[in-house]
């Protein structure tokens, strides 16, 4: 026996352990349900197993994240207070954030900026500058966690309102000094003869479209699915007004938004028989529009390009422009 190796001596012990485990398993009652209770026992002595509680929903888990939720709410409240009380200090909120500038021509510039205070709630800004001074902006909250919507809306409530009923309705943008963004350029800027201003109701209907907040990409479609561009979609929504009073296109030539100006040129070209001074417009207002800025921001499929505005307008004027259910491409 003493000549057995350590491994040989271990085999009987291992086999004994396996046998003990087998006996233990054989003596264990079935796990599917306990053994039945004899009739002499209490009928309440056995209860069927209770079903497992359902998994906690994502919204419920989100609501239990107090640390970053409090950070988001606090940061958002500070931003909302600044927007409401010191809107002219918008640059202090966007300093160091991701930003992109777009030249609008005639001394105006649009800055897109994205501010994300703590990761789950952020803000997208479009800021209009005249020279170096901000004169107007659009602010949109960006909520990345739907489960915290109610809490975030409470922090945003002083300025931002839901666009409709229901838990998933979007939040309306907040505009500061929209009148400045919609104010028409002077007649002299485009070498136009003075026209009478449209009625207050018409000016109000055209205001957002004349501002850079209606999208500054000119064209008809873009994106891989061929969606209608945002600025074009706004224009199509005003078709009834413009067809009833085509001379309003001359007013749109004075827009701050370069895409709106180019669409007005295109509309006049499509209906040139309704504009007795068409030849004069070509040599004056159209030329000023084409030069400010000298390249038109547009799209080819999913690619943003900058092209000769005169050629791009002539191309679009030959194409059909209508909604067809493919949606709207909203960029900037």
In this prediction, residues 308-327 reach a mean pLDDT of 96
Please tell me the distance from the alpha carbon of residue 217 to that of residue 309, in angstroms, as a whole number.
Answer: 12
**Phi, psi dihedrals of residue 138, rounded to the nearest 5°:** -115, 135
In this prediction, residues 83-108 reach a mean pLDDT of 94
Looking at residue 49, what is its pLDDT? Answer: 53
Please tell me the distance from the alpha carbon of residue 150 to that of residue 148, in angstroms, as a whole number.
Answer: 6
> What are the sequence ranges of the domains in the chain?
62-176, 182-329
Looking at residue 16, what is its pLDDT? Answer: 40
Looking at residue 14, what is its pLDDT? Answer: 35
Question: Of 120, 69, 123, 70, nearest to 93 (Cα)?
Answer: 123
In this prediction, residues 58-64 reach a mean pLDDT of 51
In this prediction, residues 92-109 reach a mean pLDDT of 94
Q: Helices 230-237 and 200-210, interaxial angle, to 10°?
A: 170
Please tell me the distance from the alpha carbon of residue 123 to that of residue 145, in angstroms, as a whole number.
Answer: 14
Looking at residue 32, what is its pLDDT? Answer: 41
Please tell me the distance from the alpha carbon of residue 206 to that of residue 249, in angstroms, as a whole number.
Answer: 11
- Is it the case that residue 143 has pLDDT exceeding 90? no
Please tell me the distance from the alpha carbon of residue 123 to that of residue 158, in angstroms, as a whole number.
Answer: 15
Condensed to tens digits (0 to 9), the pLDDT of residues 193-214 reads 988 899 999 999 999 999 999 9
């Amino acid at each position: 026996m003493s000549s057995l190796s350590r491994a040989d001596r271990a085999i009987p012990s291992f086999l004994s352990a396996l046998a003990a485990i087998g006996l233990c398993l054989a003596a264990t009652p079935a796990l599917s349900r306990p053994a039945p209770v004899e009739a002499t026992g209490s009928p309440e002595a056995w209860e069927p197993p209770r079903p497992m509680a359902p998994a906690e929903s994502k919204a419920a888990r989100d609501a239990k994240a107090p640390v970053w939720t409090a950070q988001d709410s606090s940061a958002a409240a500070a931003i909302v207070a600044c927007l409401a009380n010191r809107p002219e200090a918008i640059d202090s909120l966007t300093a160091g954030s991701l930003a992109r500038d777009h030249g609008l021509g005639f001394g105006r510039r649009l800055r897109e900026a994205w501010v994300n205070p703590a990761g789950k709630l952020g803000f997208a800004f479009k800021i209009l500058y005249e020279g170096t001074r901000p004169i107007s902006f659009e602010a949109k909250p960006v909520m990345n966690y739907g489960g915290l919507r109610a809490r975030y809306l409470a922090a945003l409530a002083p300025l931002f309102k839901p666009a409709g009923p229901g838990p998933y309705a979007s939040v309306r943008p907040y505009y500061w000094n929209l009148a400045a963004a919609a104010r028409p350029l002077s007649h002299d800027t485009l070498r136009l003869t003075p026209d009478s201003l449209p009625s207050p109701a018409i000016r109000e209907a055209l205001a957002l479209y004349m501002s850079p907040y209606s999208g500054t990409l000119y064209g008809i479609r873009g994106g891989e699915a061929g969606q209608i561009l945002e600025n074009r979609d706004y224009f199509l929504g005003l078709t009834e007004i413009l067809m009833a009073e085509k001379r309003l296109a001359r007013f749109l030539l004075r827009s701050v938004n370069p895409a709106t100006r180019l669409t007005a040129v295109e509309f006049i070209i499509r209906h040139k028989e309704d504009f007795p001074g068409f030849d004069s417009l070509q040599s004056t207002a159209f030329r000023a529009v084409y030069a400010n800025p000298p390249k038109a921001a547009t799209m080819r499929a999913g690619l943003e390009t900058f092209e000769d505005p005169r050629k791009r307008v002539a191309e679009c004027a030959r194409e059909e422009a209508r909604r067809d259910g493919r949606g709207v491409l909203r960029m900037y």
